[in-house]
Amino acid sequence: MELVHRLDRDTSGCLLIANQVSVLRSFHEMLRNNQMQKTYVTLLKGQLQDKEIKVEAGLRKFVTKSGERMVCVDNREGKAATTFFYPKQGFTDMTLVDVRLITGRTHQIRVHSQHLRHPIAGDEKYGDPDFNAKIKKLGLKRLFLHARSLRFEHPQTGEIMNPVAAMDEQLKKILSKLK
């Protein structure tokens, strides 16, 4: 059994595992060819007004002097990355957002939301420290990023698969406190 893709450490939700090498290869090909749809839910700082926000910004990995691995927007040397943000519910100074990845780069949603100047709640690496402190008082102890669903054609049967993961209880509690 092998992981088909990865999630960031504090991200909850759908994680696909293949039980055969041939299936794993098929899934990897689907990912490379953007034939697998990944949908996430996140809570961002600030108000997002548009119905759809498309971010096309290259991402480049680097290592800081202290040895921390990071990713930054770099349209010259970075790998192409596309993310769609769909605001769903606004709160006083934050917005619940559905996110759809076209590419699947390391920390893509986190860096693209930071690039929009709307970092993810609880993101210690790319987020806003003051915003994180505020949301922590509501009980958030992790990154507010949840891999809600996948959609793909099963490589052996051709059946359309759409696994969905329920949102983690901690994230649900945060949302109920915001309402």
Instruction: Please identify which of the residues 8, 10, 74, 98 carries the catalytic annotation.
Output: 8
Helices of type H across the chain: 21-32, 108-115, 129-136, 169-178
Q: Which position has the token pair 């990897």?
A: 28
How many CB atoms are closer than 10 A to CB 159?
9
In a 3-state reduction of DSSP, which class is residue 32?
Answer: helix
Task: Clarify whether 128 is annotated catalytic.
Answer: no
Structure tokens at 83: 């993310």
Question: Residue 124: in which H helix or E strand, if any?
Answer: none
For residues 63 and 131, the answer to whether their CB atoms sit within 8 Å is no
Report strand pairing: 37-45 vs 59-63.
unpaired
Question: Residue 43: in which H helix or E strand, if any?
Answer: strand 37-45
Give the residue numbers annotated as catalytic, written as ranges. 8
